[in-house]
Amino acid sequence: MSDADAPKPANPAELRARAAVLDAADPLAAYTAHFVPGDDLVAYLDGNSLGRPVASVPTALDDFVRTQWAGRLIRGWDELWLTRPAELGDRIGAACLGAASGQTIVADSTSVLIFKLLRAAIATQQTVDLDRDELVILRDEFPTDRFIIERLADDHGLTVRWVDAPLDAGITPELAAQVVGPRTIAALFSGVAYRSAWWADMPAVTATVQAAGALVIWDCSHAVGSVPLEFDAWGVDYAVGCSYKYLNGGPGAPAWAYVAARHHDTLRNPIPGWLGAAAPFSMTEGYTPAPGIGSLVSGTPPILTMVALGEMLSLIEVATIAAIREKSIALACYAIELVDTLIPAATVSTPREAARRGSHLTIDHPNSAVAVERLWAQGIIPDFRHPSGVRIGLSPLSTSFAEVERGIRALADALS
């Protein structure tokens, strides 16, 4: 490429003007009006922590209370609610996970589901091979995942094999190959890393773990609703994820779990509750699990906190995850250009290669903590991650290019 062909360095005025052009050309632009406006909101850059409420949620909640809860009372369980965790799971599976029906369920929190699946993996693997006594995880994995693995290893006399990946990346097939082997029970990895946004080569890592005879559990909290997933095609064993991030289920919304159909017969729920039993109302002695993914249900499902999730899924089903991903890439490329231009002292600690990146960015700067606190008071909301990271979450359906420009310009001021 000659110098004349090289891309011209961006300048702040051109970058600012470009936001309007990008918004005008954005096929998903109209979706930004489908969210409840915040009172003091100037720019929301934290959709990867807590997604905004869909505009139809207040009506849907009101309708749920009046028509379903008050209207049907206890009859609601038989008529509507007992099947809802699996119905919503199927919708997440079809819209976001590449999962055929009957393999995904909405339940519990992500932490509790990670515990249940890891415990189930230990039980399944040790039934066939008692020499398997290791659990694999990244040293910089999200705290809940590490805590649960350490507790389970402690309780069951197992060893944790820690994987060290660069902080601005995540798990790779090569790193996985170095630690999995004949002693591995299971490996727990993030599909998209919570800090760096590294989108793992999930099919290749899955194949590497499985080639060692181990099971893979993917934490897809930051991947679901932001990148297209193909669990069935990739041969994933187990996966879990939050629904309050890019699925906008609201604070404390229940999580989801995927268990491939081939594992259903051996799936051993460590909390065998009555509503995951084959005949919940027969009140018989002894536990016979419900068939399929339903056996992962423990106690009464939190139906009320599934309402907002259903509203967001309706938007994703129409927008499609492919179009969401395309906008996510465009938003992130624009955001990186803004950071490079306006905050040259910051380090982009997220892969610059779009194919390896989810939908958030982390930039490191020594003044991050103070800057984020100041921005929150101004209605500009990224988040801070210890020790020096500002995370910028780009939720494609609710975020405009102008919002990204406003937010990063304010961040540049606050950091300086």
Ligand X SMILES: Cc1ncc(COP(=O)(O)O)c(C=O)c1O
Q: Is 242 in the site for ligand X (CB under 6 A)?
A: yes
Is 391 an annotated catalytic residue?
yes
Nearer to ligand X, 66 or 151 (CB): 151
Nearer to ligand X, 218 or 401 (CB): 218
Burial of 395-411, coded b for 16+ CB within 10 Å and e otherwise, reads bbbbbbbbbbbbbbbbb
Out of 46, 140, 168, 219, which one is annotated catalytic?
219
Which are the contacts of 133, defined by CB distance < 8 A and separation ≥ 6?
Answer: 157, 158, 159, 183, 185
Q: Is 383 in the site for ligand X (CB under 6 A)?
A: no
Quick one: which segment of 98-106, 107-115, 181-189, 310-318 binds ligand X (CB under 6 A)?
107-115
Q: Is 221 in the site for ligand X (CB under 6 A)?
A: yes
- Are 145 and 137 in contact by the 8 Å Cβ rule? The answer is yes
Give the Cβ contact number of residue 157 at 10 Å.
7
Separation CA 384–CA 364 (nearest Å): 10
Place of tokens 């799971």: 89
Q: What are phi and psi of 108, to 5 degrees?
A: 50, -160
- Are 28 and 319 in contact by the 8 Å Cβ rule? The answer is yes
Out of 244, 258, 334, 401, which one is annotated catalytic?
244
Instruction: Draw the binding track, 131-150, toward ligand X (x: CB under 6 A; -: no contact).
Output: -----------x-xx-----
Out of 132, 161, 195, 245, which one is annotated catalytic?
245
Separation CA 235–CA 51 (nearest Å): 29
Is 142 an annotated catalytic residue?
yes
Binder of ligand X out of 103, 109, 295, 350 (CB under 6 A): 109
Binder of ligand X out of 110, 172, 206, 208 (CB under 6 A): 110
Binder of ligand X out of 35, 64, 194, 199 (CB under 6 A): 194
- Among 353, 356, 355, 364, CA closest to 392: 364
Paired tokens of 50: 């807590």
Paired tokens of 14: 């051109």
Paired tokens of 81: 């609610």
Place of tokens 């600012």: 16
- Taking the complex as a whole, the smallest distance from the CB of residue 108 to ligand X amounts, in Å, to 8
Q: Is 400 in the site for ligand X (CB under 6 A)?
A: no
- Total binding residues toward ligand X, as defined by CB under 6 A: 13
- Taking the complex as a whole, the smallest distance from the CB of residue 192 to ligand X amounts, in Å, to 8
Nearer to ligand X, 222 or 327 (CB): 222
- Among 265, 236, 409, CA closest to 338: 409
Binder of ligand X out of 190, 196, 298, 368 (CB under 6 A): 190
- Are 369 and 363 in contact by the 8 Å Cβ rule? The answer is no
Binder of ligand X out of 140, 201, 219, 364 (CB under 6 A): 219
Nearer to ligand X, 137 or 332 (CB): 137
Is 146 an annotated catalytic residue?
no
Site for ligand X, rule CB under 6 A? 109-111, 142, 144-145, 190, 194, 219, 221-222, 242, 255
Q: Tell me the catalytic residues.
A: 142, 219, 244-245, 391
